[in-house]
Structure 1
Amino acid sequence: MRKHTVLLAAVAALVPASFVAARPQAATSVAAPSVADQFTYTRVMVPMHDGAKMETVIIAPKGAKTKLPILFQRTPYGVPGGLPTQVPANWKPLVADGYIFVFQSMRGRFGSDGKFTLSTSVKTTPNEATDAYDAIDWLVKNVPNNNGKVGMWGVSYPGFAAAVALAKPHPALKAVSPQAAWIDYWLSDDLHRNGALRLSYATEWVSSLQVDKTQNKELSLDGMTDAYDWYLKMGPVENIDKTIFKGAAPMFTSLLDHPNHDAFYTDQNWQTSLGKTTVPTLNVAGFWDQEDPWGSWQIYAQQTKNDPDHLAQIVAGPWNHGGWQGKGSTLGAIPIGTESGTEFQTQVQAPFFAYWLHGKGARPDFTARMFQSGSNVWKTYAAWPPAGAKPTDLYFHADGSLSFTAPAAGEGCRDYVSDPANPVPFRKRPMSRTYATPDWRLWESDDQRFVDHRPDVLSYVSAPLDNDVTVTGAIAAKLMASTSGTDSDFVVKLIDVLPDNYVDTSTTNWGLGDYAKTLNGYQWPIAMDVRRGRFLASDTKPQALVPDKVIAWDVPLRDHDHVFKKGHRIMVQVQSTWFPVIDRNPQTFVPNIMRAKASDFVKATQRVCSGSKIVLPVM
């Protein structure tokens, strides 16, 4: 994040969004009115119990006639450098209710004391939970005109910082909204997917946080115009640490030293410290969140295990990372039909904090509320996953078709050659650096036709649907597959193929390039993920695969709420590389895959066989 001006710095921190959402583009989304005469700006250093002081900014309404609650956000991305000239659009419903807004740089970032470790552990002190406790304790005792009630909120890292405060909640903490939070660096979210390294994002995100304390410094990629080329040129992952970071990014080195799901990761899974749910919690997730799609669901699931007062809630929708804090009228090229983000801000987020911090309005009474994609309507569920969803098998066939009919006896396999030297790109080339353009933010909803012609991508597609198919709950792929290597990855994508006549092209006056922008035949990915073969039997003690032996590969595809509309087709794509968002599997088993050598990378023949299927929770 480049902070070109005080305005940008303020807007970036005021908008409760991630590093990506806080980039310069976000400044264009703010709207009138001026705040110069409405708020005071105060910068203080807040002491922690160990003596360290945290850089903190307090933005308080002028002339408040009653004492106000505090809305508190802790962030590693920097606090406002001054008041913005305009109220951010997604901030307006909260301003209307009245809050004292507080922003704090996390330990070891920008003006705060200490060392920033990127750790999520709560087993040693001080940690992010104790820092949140200490900060809240100071705020309620020292901020003028507060009513003794504090809410925490944030997206991405600030979302984690809000969530982890629940591990040691201060008595004044009365409401928390962890949005795109995370719980486990190995299983999913920022740094891995089921143990497979998120190479480009891990490299560039960790670099931005650890190379320089005083800024969110981007990796240059040596000025190359295509990130795909840069990562391929770097070769094995270890080369990045040796030639680029050279010890300046300790977390990246730790990822190489801990390739398996060992105590380095499990000790940081702070979610296990959650006991009885005592603080009202609004968990928020995006079904197309390209960074943290998983953690908020797991926090919610953990909370509901001991939630006698029904204080845990979950909201999700057709949003990318932090997309619910924008208008939410589109998901990349896909129209949503309404401003789902604005509706979340006004109908869900603001009433949640108003009730628990102001005592205004009715108590939010839903358990799960989803903006269902495909139908583009809000749905409310008494529980998540909801009752009534029936696991339904959607089978792969050897002729490339996909149907709800099981394959006939004797159906064979389809195969392809996976070459680590020519990996399948995860988005269109040339690829920008992760944060350089808007492309990263929306790649999970991109049209997948850019790879469906490759010989190392298998596509399976259904006939046009006779009726709507509503999928609500956890989706999973179950492959019966083999590799000629001793290790391998399989990537599975579930895709909604829009009809070829989705847009009437017969009467359009085409401009240059317009035809290619239509949604006719658009391959809209609904769920995508990767499974690494070495971890099929154990994620702590990886095992080599037996060459050419067909075995079961379970590929979890997370929770969704989507309607495949009548006339659409359902597609599944299967591939073995997804580069450079996922590091390349050498396809040769080595003890530490993170330190594989160039000579370990070999071609492998992959087979996908009869019995492979997607399990859909059909309502």
Structure 2
Amino acid sequence: MSRHALLLALAITAAVPGATVAQAGAGQAGAQAPQPAPFTYQEVMVPMRDGARLQTVVMRPRGVTGPLPILLQRTPYGVPDAPFASASRFGPLMKDGYIFVFQSMRGRFKSDGVFTLSTAVHPNDPKAVDEATDAYDTVDWLVKTLPENSGKVGMWGVSYPGFAAAVALAKPHPALKAVSPQAAWIDYWQSDDLHRNGALRLSYATDWVSSLQLDKTKNSDFAYPSDTYDYFLKQGSAEAIDRTVFKGRVPMFTALLDHPNHDAFYTGQRWTDSLGETTVPTLNVAGFWDQEDPWGSWQIYARQKRNDPNHLAQMVAGPWRHGGWQGVADHLGPIPIGTPSGTQFQEQIQAPFFAYWLHGKGPRPDFAARMFQSGSNAWKTYAAWPPAGAKPTNLYLHADGSLSFTAPAAGEGCRDYVSDPANPVPFRRRPMSATYASPDWSWWEADDQRFVDHRPDVLGYVSESLDADLTVTGALSATLQASTSGTDSDFVVKLIDVLPDDTAPFDGQTAQPGDYARTLNGYQLPIAMEVRRGRFLASDTAPQPLVPGKVVAWDVPLRDHDHVFKAGHRIMVQVQSSWFPMIDRNPQSFVANIARAKQGDYVKATQKVCAGSRVTLPVMR
């Protein structure tokens, strides 16, 4: 399934570009007339304050009388072209009854305007239009126009629809009573779709941005003529793609190249800066293994909690890929977790949240944070996030390749490797499929890391087998004491849970070739992975060259997690200097703009990881 098909499924919809208006209950003549669809269907063009009209579909449950609340989803990926044939498309939400509304965002499909991907809001400019004002105007029109609505509106969505729901909080309409931003984002330069801490997400930016700007009337995935790794390596730089492939037809991609630093282009779009007191109940949702937007929903929650006197902001996360919580979610990659965590989220958290705030049904959701904890594979409820019981504990990387909670001895040295931009470390197995090829893309953040752990340019550090469970709950981080022979560099840190060699039964007497590879024995499960770009160590707005050979501290944030390393497992840390083509190659010589680096700028560099390097774990006592 392509990414766009997946997102449409997550939006609980399927779109046909340019579809005409359909009516509920239409069918072909036959011996037995088909049953009427469970929803009525109406397509309308909703006016905005500047005169633009946005394509909007309204579906009301057939046969349900009385005023109903509205559930609104705004999306750039297209709206349904016909009523859903089954009420089960809405899962547990259907039991309570809602008027479902889907809207194509400004500049997409039949909606007027130009789609810019901008996340900026303009709270002090009454004449400005943005995604927050479009959400406000839509809610206003819906409650004033739709017959038999209760005057209460909720918004929800995953990925771009998640952002579109979240940004409505910047200027919420009085009728907006509940919002669930899921896999949303706040800053294109930080740690979601387009960058990781300022390092350009090359392959994803290429695919995703072009699919939204090359043609307003359809979603199309990027066509790779070869191994994706080879394709980007041959292109050389992001500028080459912009110049020879897009030829200026993807304005956002060009803008990313024009703005390599964390300047006003990004901070001016940081819509959460407009948030004041939290007045709208908000269910934030994130996946610990979200391969696209793992960071933003946590930041929305943290910002809301700064001023939340009525405890309206909540956080939910689990061992989920991008949007996986809207499915069954009973596996973490290939690893069974024994529980349908996604189904449970929908039934026990999402549906009750909207039922209480929009219908007044059931008890008020009273938790601060609920996590489906990986490793233990159980739901945990926390009165605050991060929980008070977590103690920061250092796990040290030693020069002999071991990993332990014991600090390095005096005089302990370094390990080194040569990083070659001509042979970067791949982020997935090769030959590498297209970006959105499933299941490769969906679960790459949970891939078995043995595919790189014996490369000479990847350092591995491994602990002894744990004699007891180790629970880490909260924000993880790493600090490398490291140097490079170049004047710029990247370091990637991976925290890995190594499953025992006897995880699954294996009979060596009867085994066939390849059987061991199909078990989970020895599986290296990434728990957290992140990149840090050296030019931004001192400043993300004024990059500086590194001093060759000088050991400095590299702080590497590893985001929030809730995981149990089980007794008998080992902990592993991998360190490398490329992650290609998920992240663009660092030339390892300082240049003004990496996206526009020339062939001669790329040089080999000797990297050293020295005593005192550590991962800091929030260990629960």
| TM superposition score category, shorter chain reference | over 0.9
The equivalent position to 1:12 in structure 2, one of 9, 24, 28, is: 9
Deviations 1:535-576 (A, max 9, x none): 000000000000000000000000000000000000000000
Q: Is the 8 A contact 1:122 1:268 kept in 2?
A: yes
Query: 2: CA distance between counterparts of 1:282 and 1:17?
Result: 25
1:177 aligns with 2:176: no
- What's the offset of the Cα at 1:86? 3.1
- What's the offset of the Cα at 1:274? 0.5
- What's the offset of the Cα at 1:513? 4.0
- What's the offset of the Cα at 1:510? 5.0
Q: Is the 8 A contact 2:14 2:79 kept in 1?
A: no
Partner of 2:91: 92
Deviations 1:146-199 (A, max 9, x none): 101000000000000000000010000000000000000001100000000000
Partner of 2:549: 548
Partner of 1:160: 163
Query: 2: CA distance between counterparts of 1:144 and 1:510?
Result: 66
- What's the offset of the Cα at 1:379? 0.3
Q: Is the 8 A contact 1:9 1:80 kept in 2?
A: no
Q: TM-score w.r.t. structure 2 length?
A: 0.94
Q: Is the 8 A contact 1:35 1:83 kept in 2?
A: no
Partner of 1:60: 60
Deviations 1:460-507 (A, max 9, x none): 000000111100000000000000000000000000000011111138
Query: 2: CA distance between counterparts of 1:135 and 1:508?
Result: 66
Query: 2: CA distance between counterparts of 1:356 and 1:55?
Result: 27
Q: CA RMSD in A?
A: 1.8
Query: 2: CA distance between counterparts of 1:16 and 1:326?
Result: 14
1:392 aligns with 2:389: no
Question: Following superposition of structure 1 onto structure 2, how do residues 239-254 of structure 1 map, counting pairs within 5 Å?
Answer: 239-254=240-255
Closer, same or farther: CA 35–561 of 1 in aligned 2, 3 Å: farther
Query: 2: CA distance between counterparts of 1:446 and 1:2?
Result: 19
Aligned partner letter, 2:285: V
Q: Is the 8 A contact 2:185 2:293 kept in 1?
A: yes
Secondary structure of the residue aligned to 1:614 is: strand
- What's the offset of the Cα at 1:17? 11
Q: Is the 8 A contact 2:88 2:94 kept in 1?
A: no
Secondary structure of the residue aligned to 2:460 is: strand
Query: 1: CA distance between counterparts of 2:461 and 2:10?
Result: 44
Q: Is the 8 A contact 2:131 2:168 kept in 1?
A: yes
1:368 aligns with 2:365: no
1:110 aligns with 2:113: no
Partner of 1:429: 430
Query: 2: CA distance between counterparts of 1:3 and 1:295?
Result: 19
- What's the offset of the Cα at 1:511? 6.3
Partner of 1:292: 293
Aligned partner letter, 2:487: T
1:490 aligns with 2:487: no
- What's the offset of the Cα at 1:11? 6.3
Secondary structure of the residue aligned to 1:216 is: coil
Instruction: Provide the identity percentage.
Output: 74
Aligned partner letter, 1:96: K
Secondary structure of the residue aligned to 2:252 is: helix
Aligned partner letter, 1:161: A
Query: 2: CA distance between counterparts of 1:117 and 1:326?
Result: 30
1:195 aligns with 2:198: yes
Partner of 1:31: none
Query: 1: CA distance between counterparts of 2:430 and 2:509?
Result: 29
Q: TM-score w.r.t. structure 1 length?
A: 0.94
- What's the offset of the Cα at 1:386? 0.4
Aligned partner letter, 2:139: I
Q: Is the 8 A contact 1:11 1:88 kept in 2?
A: no
- What's the offset of the Cα at 1:310? 0.3
Secondary structure of the residue aligned to 2:440 is: helix
Secondary structure of the residue aligned to 1:611 is: strand
- What's the offset of the Cα at 1:88? 4.8
Secondary structure of the residue aligned to 2:203 is: helix
Partner of 1:209: 212
- What's the offset of the Cα at 1:200? 0.3
> Where in structure 1 are there 5+ consecutive unaligned residues?
19-33
Aligned partner letter, 1:15: I
Q: Is the 8 A contact 2:2 2:436 kept in 1?
A: no
Q: Is the 8 A contact 1:17 1:325 kept in 2?
A: no
Closer, same or farther: CA 516–87 of 1 in aligned 2, 3 Å: farther
- What's the offset of the Cα at 1:417? 0.3
Query: 2: CA distance between counterparts of 1:398 and 1:471?
Result: 25
Question: Following superposition of structure 1 onto structure 2, how do residues 475-514 of structure 1 map, counting pairs within 5 Å?
Answer: 475-506=476-507, 510=511, 513-514=514-515
> Where in structure 2 are there 5+ consecutive unaligned residues?
16-33
Q: Is the 8 A contact 1:391 1:615 kept in 2?
A: yes
Partner of 2:267: 266
Q: Is the 8 A contact 1:486 1:547 kept in 2?
A: yes
Query: 1: CA distance between counterparts of 2:447 and 2:592?
Result: 35
- What's the offset of the Cα at 1:9? 11
Query: 2: CA distance between counterparts of 1:408 and 1:484?
Result: 25
Partner of 1:574: 575
Query: 1: CA distance between counterparts of 2:132 and 2:72?
Result: 14
Query: 1: CA distance between counterparts of 2:118 and 2:63?
Result: 40
Query: 1: CA distance between counterparts of 2:422 and 2:582?
Result: 15
Aligned length: 598
Closer, same or farther: CA 14–322 of 1 in aligned 2, 3 Å: closer
Q: Is the 8 A contact 1:329 1:341 kept in 2?
A: yes
Closer, same or farther: CA 17–508 of 1 in aligned 2, 3 Å: farther
Secondary structure of the residue aligned to 2:363 is: coil
- What's the offset of the Cα at 1:598? 1.0
Q: Is the 8 A contact 2:42 2:57 kept in 1?
A: yes
Closer, same or farther: CA 289–17 of 1 in aligned 2, 3 Å: farther
